[in-house]
Amino acid sequence: SQTIHQWPATLVQPVGSPLSLECTVEGTSNPNLYWYRQAAGRGLQLLFYSVGIGQISSEVPQNLSASRPQDRQFILSSKKLLLSDSGFYLCAWSLLSGLGYTFGSGTRLTVV
Amino acid sequence: QKEVEQNSGPLSVPEGAIASLNCTYSDRGSQSFFWYRQYSGKSPELIMFIYSNGDKEDGRFTAQLNKASQYVSLLIRDSQPSDSATYLCAVINAGGTSYGKLTFGQGTILTVHP
């Protein structure tokens, strides 16, 4: 069966520090991968999606970037965190367009 | 106009009652519709999906889709306190550049009280 791993679960980082969040999927090949952010009291916002290695699409301009160095690995990064980057970051995967996503357990990021 | 709209609630129902959650969407090209449940502090989990007009039942859950009215709903029968959560409606338009992109509503907070 397929599983998705996301870490760390919680993170407290100072303003201006770098960020690296990692997500890996097991039990499937060539998944579509997604990064979402959920700010406090707000809905889920799609940040990036990837349909293959090295293929990254950005949905909104921001202080973040994403990379997909391997088929089942998706990384969210920032060179310098802002207070507004605080939120609940969720990685998700799907196999085919039109199917629902499966989410990882999320990373709660607090920038102080 | 938001792409996917939900009443944020909170919706409060007594245990054993039917909870009705509603969602409208703006893109007529939308093809797939999903309901996720999100407990506080946890990630969303998929509970229902529907692609065709009409009703789809799974246990205590029924999803209803009306593409002409651009409306999708979720009914929860015999509501239990464990159903208390935020319910997220999500929509996919699989065409064009929005490749399989799920667009979420803001979510409806449901509270089932004993």
Listed range (B4-18, B44-58, B85-99) with the worst mean pLDDT: B85-99
Distance CA(B46)–CA(A18), nearest Å, equals 32
Q: How confident is the model at residue B94, as a pLDDT?
A: 59
Q: How confident is the model at residue B40, as a pLDDT?
A: 93
Three-state SS string over A65-101 comes to EEEEEECCEEEEEECCCCHHHCEEEEEEEECCCCCCC
The residue ranges of DSSP E strands in B7-84, in sequence order, are 11-14, 19-25, 32-38, 45-50, 54-58, 61-66, 71-76
Amino acid identity at B80: Q
Q: How confident is the model at residue A2, as a pLDDT?
A: 83
Shortest Cα distance, chain A CAs vs residue B94, angstroms: 6
Q: How confident is the model at residue B1, as a pLDDT?
A: 63
Q: How confident is the model at residue A97, as a pLDDT?
A: 63
Token pair 């703006």 in the structure block, residue: B26
Distance CA(A38)–CA(A58), nearest Å, equals 16
Q: What is the band of B30 on the pLDDT scale with cuts at 50, 70, 90?
A: confident
Across the interface, do A51 and B99 touch by the CB < 8 Å criterion? Answer: yes
Q: In what order do the strands lie in the sheet with B54-58?
A: B4-6, B19-25, B71-76, B61-66, B54-58
The C-alpha angle B30, B4, A68, rounded to 5 degrees, equals: 75
3-state secondary structure of B52: coil
Q: How confident is the model at residue B36, as a pLDDT?
A: 97
Half-sphere exposure of A46 (CA within 13 A, CB side): 23
Shortest Cα distance, chain B CAs vs residue A53, angstroms: 16
- Residues of chain B in contact with residue A59, where contact means CB-CB under 8 angstroms, are 101
Across the interface, do B100 and A44 touch by the CB < 8 Å criterion? Answer: no
pLDDT in tens, B90-100: 998 755 555 67
Please, what's the b/e burial string for B39-61 (b: 16 or more CB within 10 A of its CB; e: otherwise)? eeeebbebbbbbeeeeeeeeeeb
Across the interface, do A102 and B46 touch by the CB < 8 Å criterion? Answer: yes
Q: How confident is the model at residue B20, as a pLDDT?
A: 97
Q: How confident is the model at residue B91, as a pLDDT?
A: 92
Compute mean pLDDT per 10 residues along chain A, 112 residues long, and list them. 91 97 93 91 88 89 90 96 95 81 95 96
- Residues of chain A in contact with residue B45, where contact means CB-CB under 8 angstroms, are 103
Q: Which CA distances in Å does B31 have to A33, A97, B66?
A: 20, 10, 12
More confident residue, B21 or B27: B21
Q: Decide: B6 and B105 in contact? Cβ < 8 Å.
A: yes
Token pair 């009306």 in the structure block, residue: B66
Beta strands B71-76 and B85-92, pairing class: unpaired
DSSP assigned state of B81:
G
Pick among A49, A97, A108 to test the B interface (most B CBs inside 10 A): A97
Q: How confident is the model at residue A39, as a pLDDT?
A: 86
What distance lies between CA A20 and its chain's CA centroid? Answer: 10
